[in-house]
Amino acid sequence: MKLKKLPWLSAGLFAALLSGNVAAQTDSAAATAEVGKNSLPLDELQAFAEVFGQINSQYVDPADDLSLLRDALHGMLAGLDPHSVFLDAEAFEEMRVSTEGQFGGLGIEVTTSDGLLVIVAPLDDTPAQRAGLQPGDMIVRLDGVAVQGDNLRAVTNRLRGPPGSKIVLTISRRGQRETFDVTLVRAIIKVSNVKSEMLEDGFAYIRITSFHSQSGANLRAALAQLQPSDGELNGLVLDLRNNPGGTLHSAVEVSDVFINDGVIVSTRGRNPATNQTFSASARAWSAEVPLVVLVNGGSASSAEIVAGALQDQQRAILLGTQTFGKGSVQTVIPLQNGGALKLTTARYYTPSGRSIQARGITPDIIAEQVNAQTQTQLSRNQVGKPTREDDLFGHLENDQTTTQPEPAKDAHNSRFAVGHAETETKPIAALQRRDYQVGAALNLLKGMSLVKRRRENSQADSANPAAAGG
């Protein structure tokens, strides 16, 4: 049997890969040395061309050449790690729009693990969140059709659709023996990613649901509205739970709101161009207001950058549960055909030098979510065990094999666990009543504020003995 396309295809693939290697040589001297050490795998290229030809001539139904090549690109990227993907022109545009804070769909961040589609986090005020979907839920069928083994791009296309159209997700949740169906109505997702309210006089709450280009500006605007006219807040709860992340620069901007100086995050990769250090710009809204940051297994990527920076700089106390552990940086590289390559190019590191890849960040205070009304801890069967980065098939390994430097073990960074809710004798606001972790954070801030006032009064008495009766 003659495979007429083989010579053209083999030569074309060879030329394309060779041109890619030549282009890579211009990136850096290190890249040049790397390329020089490796020769092109000609046998494998020939095998690829042969398989392509066999599919084209022997497959039961006619196969579209363009679809086959795109599927090959998807598979090549999927073999690297769960976050490197090929984006066609349509997907590239959708990604660009989503980073600006508005996109269509269901409102869930998903990833793949060993052929399974896993929810990282549902976004607030979206069809997915209102339906009760949780981090760690596995989507096993879409409209009755199994998704196992599908690539992420193909599944994402099936999740999207015209606003108002319905889709049925079959969910498998850890701790529940049977799967169950959830019917969602697609909508235009407009992410109001910063929400704020006053918990009590002097104590504020801000939630960031995701990170995009306007996150830093939206946070500063929210803080300006919460700022008392007669001075500063007594404390602030920053909620990063179930925040799937976003852009690196937005995480730096948010961290910069609370840190006056020092490193926020650094990135290191094989290409020296990816080695960067991002530092605070002395434009902090306040470097003094006590801050408690809430995190959990759905806090990923940019949310972990912020949490790690505030913890290492001893600017905040972290309360909640272990974070997701996505400590890698993806660079979007536009391609000549209008698409793009979203490629993992570096790992990021907290100010103390910790890599959280596949490990996550450990809160200063471990506080499982409990039912604040009944004061009973929710069981694993009720909330499920969240999927983390190190559960994902093919995840990037943490490059730190030795013990990582930990934040300073002082009064500000002590580790202890909270396993129950204390009895509340006074009426509390609705949010604290609904959400035990918010209530725990508020009580912690009250204690910090009380200690601060007593210290200030003691210093004032020492400076004025007459007023103190001396």
Please list the active-site residues. Answer: 301, 312, 326
In angstroms, the Cα distances linking 231 to 234, 289, 460 are 9, 11, 19
Which two three-digit tokens encode residue 263?
């490193």
d(CA 422, CA 442): 13
DSSP-based three-state secondary structure for 31: helix
* Residue 329: burial class (beta carbons within 10 Å; 0-12, 13-18, 19+): buried
Pick from 64, 155, 59, 160: which is nearest to 107 by CA? 160
Of 324, 322, 330, the closest CA to residue 77 belongs to 330
Contact between 190 and 179 (Cβ < 8 Å)? no
Rg (CA), the chain: 25
User: Any residues with CB less than 8 A from the CB of 458 and at least 6 apart, and which?
Assistant: none
Are 307 and 356 spatial neighbours (Cβ–Cβ below 8 Å)? no
> What tokens appear for 283 in the block?
């434009």
Q: 343 is written with which tokens?
A: 């490629």
* Separation of alpha carbons 282 and 256, rounded Å: 8
Sequence-distant (6+) residues with CB within 8 A of 265 are 248, 251, 252, 255, 277, 278, 305, 308, 309, 348, 349, 350, 351
How many other CB atoms are found less than 10 A from the CB of residue 333?
12
DSSP 103: E
Cβ partners under 8 Å of residue 451, min gap 6:
none
